[in-house]
Structure formats: C-alpha cells, structure tokens
Structure 1
Amino acid sequence: MNQTFYNLDKDKQERIINAALLEFAENGYEKASTNRIVKCAGIGKGMLFYYFKNKKELYHYLVEFSLDTILSEFFDKIDMNETDFIERLRQIARIKFEFNKRYPNVLSFLANIFIKEESDISRDLKQRHEKVMQMGYSMLYENIDTTLFRSDVDPEKAFKLIRWSIEGYQNELINHFKQQNLVTTNMDPYWDEFYDYLEVLKTIYYTDRKE
C-alpha cells in the first residue's frame, strides 16, 4: 500500500475505508466493484489505485484494518473485571453500538469473510481472523460468576438464552434505525428500555438478590 494514504486527512481516509468495507461486505471479493467504491467515496478511480496497487491489496488492507480496529476500539474497552454475565453484556452492547456508529461496516465485513469463507485471503490473515473471533467469543464468558444463577438453571443454557434475547433486541433496533441518522437521534429512551429488559432477564435467571 502507498504510504501517502496515511497522509490523507482522517475524513477522506474513513470515506474510502467505509465505502470499500460496504462494497466487500455486500458483494464479497469476487463481485465487489472498485467503480462503486470510488463513486461512494467520492474519489477518482486512479486515486484508489494510487493508494492501493489492486483490489486484492485493498481487500487485505481492509481485513487488517478491521481486525486492528476491533481489538483497539472494541475489545480493549470491555471491562473483564465485571463478573455478572448480564452486566458484561450490557457494557458490550453499549460499546458495540458506539463502535458501529463510527465504523458502520467493519463487523458486517468480517462476518461476510467468516460466513462465505472467502478464498482471497492469505493463510496468516485467516488465522489471525480466527484468533480475533475466538477472543471475542471467550470475552463473553471469561471470569463470569455462575453462582449468580438460580440453582435450578443450567448456566450454559442460560448464557445462550440471554445472549439470544439481547442480540434479538439489538437486531430489532438496527432494523428500526437503518434509515435514520444515529448521530442526531436521542437514544436515551431506547437504552432505558434495554436496561429494563436486562432487569427482567435477571429476575428470570438469577437468584433473589434480596436474600
């Protein structure tokens, strides 16, 4: 990659990166169009290939960028000292929401690689991708206090049911806000509703905290 790309102002860098992430996420490597990328980014096609030699180099850069960004802007912000599973998910949901506002296509781009098992990635990048995804999965369950759960509840099954409930609510919100500007939307009522649901989940799965 041409180092002059890093000399661009941050807004222009992010425009190019987000346009490329969106294109690859929606169409995969083979069907992705650099014409659509430059149109969305508002730059000339010659400039794109001045920064990146070809589509494959751009693609590999995006994989590395996405993995680095997830580690520094998502995983590093999770407080692993929180041992309450539902509270851990509460903070992860908030971090994920803020992450998606700034990097709206990173997670879908990486998910597309995983689901479609893209072949145009080096073995090293595939292995790194797998390690990062495993790290994210382990961060859900590491150092969790299972004694919080009711004695008649299997913690492993509860983990899945709670996670599915929260992910379902998140997906509902994502669809609701798909065409809206999240920057100008007051999210407080939605967070309040989300926290109410979390309290319901605690009532269902946890021991009576008043005891």
Structure 2
Amino acid sequence: MKQKLENPKAKILEAALIEFSQHSYETASTNNISKLAKLSKGTVFNYYENKENLFKQVLEYSISVFKKELNTFKFKNSEPQKIIKEAIEFIYNFYKEHQNIYNFYLRSIYDMSIPFRTELLKVVKLFSTLLTYRLIHNFKKLSILTPKYSEESLLYILNSVISRLIDSYFIENESPIDKEKLFDEICSIISDILIIDNDKN
C-alpha cells in the first residue's frame, strides 16, 4: 500500500519523486516540484537545501518504502522453485504498485547527468540486492545452496535475471509468453543454478 504523505516536507518529497522519475537529473525542475507540491519554491528550499539534497532524500525515501514492504514479506515455501517465484512476484508486485519508485530507480542507474553518480550507484547497488540477498540466505538456511559458485556471483546472476524480467514488463510492456509460464520457466532455470543437487549431476 502506498504511503500517504500529508505534511509539507513529505508533499515536496512525493512531488520530487514524480519529477525525478519522469526527467533526468539535469532537466528535472524545482519549479515543477513546487507546483506539484502546491507550495512556493522558497518553502521547498526551506526543507531541502538544494536539488542534490532533494534527490538524495528521494532515494532514501524510495529505499525506506521498499524496506518497509520487504520487512513484511516472508517466504512461505521450502521448494526452491516456489521460493524463487515468491521473490520474483514480490518485486513485480512492488514495482507495479510503486511505478514512480521503479522509474526513479532506473533513472538513478542510467542517468549520466547525475554529478554524484559514483556515490549514488553504491547505494543503488545495495538497494537492488536487499531481496536477492534474502533469497540466497534462505537457500543457505535450508542447506540447498550450491557451493559451486561464490555468493557474489549468484547474487549478480539473480539481480541481472530478475531486473531484466521486470524491465520486459514495465519498459517493453510485453512478453512473448504468458506471465505465469515465463515466471515458472525462469524460476526453474534459476533453481538449476542455485540448488546443491546441481553438483551431483
């Protein structure tokens, strides 16, 4: 469920999220943000020192929304493919519900006009691994995680595959096969890579 934002500071933050999700850092306008928030530009800068500070606060807010929902998420299955499917469905549903956060996340990765991009990417990288790290940890707890590959490599593979899958829906807005079938087949492929049984073949 989306958080309701009522106070001036929160209204500015929500307006900034919309603006930064639709425009590059360079072209995003504090004038537009003040109009969206229905507050004066002076009020915006009373709460947020400058555009960079505002952008960083939007990033922190986006991560906090994701963490809040992630904290309520629990794996219900112990079957590898079903665990993976639960994780993919969680991230799919989160981005479907919070499309501005998803668009902001994409811009944070690909927008070359951000002056503090190197610093930003470190934060975004941690953000993107929150769910997949939990998935890996769950496999370890069940003693089914393959020792064949490093955890870093497995996290990289998981993040890459899941990100591309989600992108195919929200950017391209299409898939060559039914969503459920696609999820099931991708879960099967990932499971073959992750589970310890793979080493016995």
Superimposed CA distance per residue, residues 69-109 of structure 1 (whole angstroms, 9 cap, x where no aligned partner)? 11102x21432575555433312222222221232132442
Q: CA deviation at 1:27?
A: 0.7
Task: Tell me by how many angstroms 1:33 deviates.
Answer: 1.9
More deviation, 128-137/98-107: 128-137
- Matched positions, count: 181
1:71 aligns with 2:85: no
Q: What is the rounded CA distance, in whole Å, between the counterparts of 2:60 and 2:71 in structure 1?
A: 17
Normalising by structure 1, report the TM-score. 0.57
Structure 1 gap ranges (5+) = 179-188
The corresponding residue for 2:19 is 20
Alignment partner, residue 192 of structure 1: 180
* Matched letter for residue 7 of structure 1: N
* Counterpart position of 1:62: 58
User: What amino acid does structure 2 have at the position aligned with 1:89?
Assistant: I
In structure 2, the residue matched to 1:89 is 84
Shift of 1:167: 4.1
Identity %: 13
**Cα distance per residue 1:103-131 (max 9 Å; x no partner):** 2132442454455594459x8x9886665
CA distance in 1, matches of 2:109, 2:126: 12
Q: Distance in 1 between matches of 2:158 and 2:59?
A: 30
Aligned to 1:186: none
Structure showing greater Rg: 1
Give the alignment's TM-score, normalised by structure 2: 0.59
Partner of 1:172: 168
The change in CA–CA distance for 1:83 and 1:14 in structure 2 (over 3 A counts) is farther
1:196 Cα deviation after fit = 3.6
Does structure 2 conserve the Cα–Cα contact (< 8 Å) formed by 1:22 and 1:109?
Answer: yes
Aligned pair in 2 of structure 1 residues 61, 31: CA closer, same or farther (>3 Å)? same
Runs of 5+ consecutive residues of structure 2 not aligned to the other structure: none
Which SS does the other structure have where 1:6 is aligned? coil
